Structure 1
Amino acid sequence: MDCPHCETALVTFAVPPEYQEHLPGSESAAGLCPRCLSLEPVEESAGEPAFDRLSDGFPTTREAALPLALLVGLLSNLALYRSEIATLLEAVERAGTDPLLVLDRLDRDPEVETDIDLSGRRRQLEQLL
């Protein structure tokens, strides 16, 4: 499936039950665009997610990558998803990944072309931690 915003192939993944409530919509899977970082609900995932397609700085372990992908996808509306983002931040940290460092890396990645002010969001997330 391609991103409806920039037509880049989404990285799709099944969302486990513990994260379903953090996903907009009622679908059981999601896709994150490696270019614009848009999170899109999808009907189903196409096998094992290729989190390494998202960015060199993105974790590849499912335990860290999955909540981080959801978190990044929700950043465009921090006010609406504040509690979900806080929960996902904790999950990423428990998995042994620094989510703020990943945001720094995404912000410097020349292949990421997002409308989200990642450095601004990073400062706001520091306050949530």
Structure 2
Amino acid sequence: MVCSRCESPVVRFAVPDSYREYAPSEASTATICTRCLRVRPRSETDGTSRSERADVTAVSEAFPTRQKPAVGIALALELCTSLARNRDRLEALLADLEQAGTDPLLTLERLCRDPTIEPETDLERRVHQLEQLLY
């Protein structure tokens, strides 16, 4: 499968039930583009198993190596497309990631420095805005 925006490969992943409210359309499975980081819902009938693990290294080594935090970062990237509309959900998701031992802002900063990706959203600007929002 490829991204409809930039035609780069996408990675399919299962969304944990605890993160479903942060997923596009509250989907149980989603995809993330390996280049523009666009996250889109996937239907249950497309062959993705609910237990399928995200291959985050296919996207970037900046992603956490554990599945749930990696999925959380992917979902945060999608929520970053509109801080005004997604502020409350984004704050809650980032707080959950921090409590689980992941530094989401550091991860986003590392993604900004990854030369293999060209995010759909201006991540550098979003990181700055998130720092102001959260601290």
User: Larger deviation: 104-113 or 24-33?
Assistant: 24-33
CA offset digits 1:18-69 (Å, max 9, x no partner): 2222122253211111210101001143522101112111111013111111
Q: Which amino acid in the other structure matches residue 11 of structure 2? A: V
Going from structure 1 to structure 2, the CA distance change for 1:90 and 1:26 (only over 3 Å counts) comes to: closer
1:29 is aligned to 2:29: yes
List alignment gaps of at least 5 residues for structure 2.
none
Q: Distance in 2 between matches of 1:24 and 1:41?
A: 6
Query: Are the equivalent residues in 2 in contact too, given 1:31–1:42 (CA < 8 A)?
Result: yes
Q: Which residue number corresponds to residue 15 of structure 1?
A: 15
List structure 1 runs of 4+ shifted beyond 4 angstroms. Answer: none
Going from structure 1 to structure 2, the CA distance change for 1:62 and 1:26 (only over 3 Å counts) comes to: closer
Aligned match for 1:64, one of 64, 69, 76: 69
TM-score scaled to structure 1, two decimals? Answer: 0.90
- After TM superposition, give the deviation of residue 128 of structure 1 in Å: 2.9
**Which aligned pairs between 1:34-53 and structure 2 lie closer than 5 A?**
34-44=34-44, 45=48, 47-53=52-58
Q: Which residue number corresponds to residue 99 of structure 2?
A: 94
Q: Distance in 2 between matches of 1:39 and 1:97?
A: 20
Q: Which amino acid in the other structure matches residue 2 of structure 1? A: V
Q: Which amino acid in the other structure matches residue 98 of structure 1? A: D
SS at match of 2:130: helix
Q: Distance in 2 between matches of 1:32 and 1:115?
A: 11
Going from structure 1 to structure 2, the CA distance change for 1:115 and 1:16 (only over 3 Å counts) comes to: closer
Root-mean-square deviation (CA, aligned residues, Å) is 1.5
Going from structure 1 to structure 2, the CA distance change for 1:63 and 1:16 (only over 3 Å counts) comes to: closer
TM-score scaled to structure 2, two decimals? Answer: 0.86
Q: Which amino acid in the other structure matches residue 74 of structure 1? A: L
Among all aligned residue pairs of Structure 1 and Structure 2, give the percentage whose two residues are the same amino acid: 44
Query: Are the equivalent residues in 2 in contact too, given 1:32–1:73 (CA < 8 A)?
Result: no
Q: Distance in 2 between matches of 1:75 and 1:17?
A: 21
